[in-house]
Chains A and B, each alone.
Chain A
Amino acid sequence: MKTAESTVNRMTAVVVILVGAGLIVSGFRLDGPTLIGDPGAALLPKIAGALLVLLGSALFIWPVPQSAVPADADPAGRPMHVVVGTVAAAIGFVLLFAFVGFTIASAVFVFAVPLIMGARRRRDIAAAALMASLFTLLVGYSLYSLLGIPLPGVLVG
């Protein structure tokens, strides 16, 4: 467990060091200050970059801090295909939201996700359909008509 954590911490440390180095390099490319005494817009990127390189190096050298509070075990639960399917549905929702707007995208998403997550009985599928309809209508009406929030594609409002 400690070896795995050490490896992950070292990999993270490398990323942190690279980000820090990138900040420092970018800092040198920024324009210099124009006001007397002003260190300029490049100062904080360089300081942040230097700190990240320093802290990342410390994490690389001491990858498993002994005082670390034991973390909760990563919840091992749902099958990977369910997780991947739900994430894909979420991305699909965002794309659909961009093209057809709130109502259709939300209704499809709120109905589809329970099915992806294992709803198989007729009762559960009916509950998903009811939840999708009610939620979409209620939230669309509340946000668009009552609160005047400019949501795209609200069909009932």
Chain B
Amino acid sequence: MPAFLDLLQPGTIALMFGCACLGLVFGALPGLNATMAVAIILPLTFPFSSTTGIALLIAAYIGGISGGLVSAVLLRIPGTPSSVATTFDAYPLAQQGHAVRALGTGMLASFLGGLFSLVMLMSFAPWLAEIAIQLGPFEYAALTLMALALVGVLAAGNMLKGLIAAVVGVALGLVGFAPIDGTPRFTFGSNELVAGIGLVPFLVGLFAVSQLLRELKAEATRISLDLDLRGFGVSLRNLRDNALNILRSAAIGTGIGIMPGIGGAASNLVAYAAAKQASRQPEKFGKGAVEGIWAAESANNASVGGALLPLLALGIPGDGVTAMLISGFEIHGMQPGPLLFQINPGIVYTVFAAFLITAVMVLCVQFGTIRIFPRVLLVPRRYLLPILFVLMCVGAYTADNRMFDIWLMLAVGVLGYFLEKHRFPLSPLVLGFVIGPLFEENFRRALIFSEGDLTPFLSSPVAAVFLGIAVLSLAGGIIRERRAAAKQR
């Protein structure tokens, strides 16, 4: 309750509103996304208290995920990867003259999916954190190894490239002082690299600058909108008829959001497929079926809560955005993980409260601007791109007040552009960068405790289970790839 009341200060609400709107705009504009919104907001939270700073990041995150709906409905362009499945039915429905119904359905679905995952988060995060406190360095090392393996194996489309990306991320995380003994590694004589590669310029460069480069190369498309919209288009009967669909989709979204490296991009597609299979009229999917919109949008917002669960309880990010939230916590002197619940429980409840307030805020903003927001899509890119680039440079600079970080951001941006161009997924890269140091610290600490003996990794049931999952997921991934290759031949 105190966390909730803290956030209800007028100034904080106003700032959260601004960040949620920024997130909505970023989510709505094709080529921009929630990750970029959080990347830009992240360094701007420095001057604020930890409560406000974290709340602003959560607001931008949820706004960004929710915002992908508008361009998906009106232009058949998913604003974010989380809204791909939304286009399958929302656009045809809009073309049939029911744009408001499509928008209204998606907005309400996002809200309900988010609420479901918030309940799951509030219910399970403290319990998971309590269990996690009892885990030692062996268990943590095995857990981080499992997360790395899952991230690489579950990378969309190409396991081999996903694993390479994860290991490259681990390698980039080696720059700077090693944990435990502080040995400088790969600094190449540079004072700036002694502290390692900064997380803020790294993430902003990898996701935001690389995307700007893609947008720069893409031909400017002329967008025309039909803004003759009336009412909100959602009935209680429709909501009641889709209750099971919403629950199932939200559960899928939450479950997939928990898995490191996947997130909303996969959850909306899986939920859509499940809804189609369960539907009495599957032939209507793809032609404007409202069930499809309920499924896709419930799942993608539910994945937000899912991704926050391992972040808060274990200190392990569920996706690229939550990896950035780690930086947000660190900026304010906190470390997400099980001890957060003991040392700073207030901030955990701040996350819950910010989630709830933002979900309600975003729903109200979306319904209130159902006829206004679509106009943002008409801003020409030639004005938008330089503004975004300046904001990114300012963000990278303010992390440590160094020009070096801007150059680093640009270099990482070029790397990210070429990696994506050649189909190397970026999520495993960033998760390898974040999780690699965690793995090394825990692994080395574990071996110091056991004086070099590796058997506790197998004799500890929890560690053995995590390692088993890592091995099975790798094996399963290889089998899956070979079967797909054989099928294509």
Give the total of B residues in contact with A, Cβ under 8 Å.
69
Contact status A90-B447, CB under 8 Å: no
Instruction: Output the least CB separation between B24 and chain A (Å).
Output: 19
Contact status A59-B161, CB under 8 Å: yes
- Measured between beta carbons, the chain A residues less than 8 angstroms from B484 are 66-67
Which chain A residues numbered 93 to 121 have a C-beta less than 8 Å away from chain B?
93-94, 97-98, 102, 106, 109-110, 112-114, 117-119
Contact status B164-A94, CB under 8 Å: no
Instruction: Output the least CB separation between A122 and chain B (Å).
Output: 15
Which chain B residues numbered 367 to 407 have a C-beta less than 8 Å away from chain A?
380-383, 385-387, 389-391, 393-394, 397-398, 401, 403, 406-407
Contact status A45-B185, CB under 8 Å: yes
Nearest residue in A to B171 (C-beta to C-beta)?
A: A48
Interface presence of B436 (CB below 8 A): yes
Contact status B386-A109, CB under 8 Å: yes
Question: CA–CA, A77 to B84, complex, Å?
Answer: 23
Contact status B421-A69, CB under 8 Å: no
Interface presence of A1 (CB below 8 A): no
Nearest residue in B to A102 (C-beta to C-beta)?
A: B394
Question: CA–CA, A74 to B43, complex, Å?
Answer: 32
- Measured between beta carbons, the chain A residues less than 8 angstroms from B451 are 36-37
Q: Contacts A41-B181, A94-B393, A98-B403 hold; do A68 and B157 have CB atoms under 8 A apart?
A: yes
Question: CA–CA, A45 to B406, complex, Å?
Answer: 26
- Measured between beta carbons, the chain A residues less than 8 angstroms from B125 are none
Which of under 10, 10 to 19, 20 to 34, or 35 or more describes the interface residues of A?
A: 35 or more
Contact status B481-A110, CB under 8 Å: no
Instruction: Output the least CB separation between A71 and chain B (Å).
Output: 5
Interface presence of B226 (CB below 8 A): no
- Measured between beta carbons, the chain A residues less than 8 angstroms from B157 are 67-69
Question: CA–CA, A83 to B214, complex, Å?
Answer: 10
**Which segment of B102-110, B196-204, B217-225, B286-294 sits at the interface?**
B217-225
Contact status B389-A37, CB under 8 Å: no
Which chain A residues numbered 20 to 68 have a C-beta less than 8 Å away from chain B?
23, 26, 30-31, 33-41, 43-45, 48-49, 51-52, 55-56, 58-59, 62, 65-68
Nearest residue in A to B444 (C-beta to C-beta)?
A: A38
Contact status B171-A52, CB under 8 Å: yes
Question: CA–CA, A31 to B178, complex, Å?
Answer: 11
Interface presence of B156 (CB below 8 A): yes
Contact status A77-B217, CB under 8 Å: yes
Question: CA–CA, A90 to B389, complex, Å?
Answer: 8
Task: Among A76, A77, A90, A131, point to the contact of B220 (Cβ < 8 A).
Answer: A77
Contact status A97-B406, CB under 8 Å: yes
Contact pattern, B 22-56, Cβ under 8 Å of A = 1, otherwise 0 = 00000000000000000000011011000000000
Contact status A139-B447, CB under 8 Å: no
Contact status B436-A110, CB under 8 Å: no
Contact status B390-A110, CB under 8 Å: yes
- Measured between beta carbons, the chain A residues less than 8 angstroms from B450 are 37
Contact status A75-B218, CB under 8 Å: yes
**Inter-chain pairs besides A77-B218, A94-B406, 18 sampled, C-beta below 8 Å:** A23-B171, A36-B452, A43-B444, A45-B186, A49-B171, A52-B171, A65-B159, A65-B485, A67-B488, A68-B423, A78-B217, A78-B218, A94-B410, A117-B385, A119-B382, A139-B394, A149-B43, A149-B398
**18 CB-based A-B contacts, threshold 8 Å:** A19-B168, A37-B448, A37-B451, A38-B447, A39-B447, A43-B443, A52-B168, A52-B171, A66-B484, A66-B488, A67-B485, A77-B217, A97-B406, A110-B390, A113-B385, A127-B383, A128-B383, A147-B46
Top-3 shortest CB links A-B: A77-B219, A67-B484, A69-B157
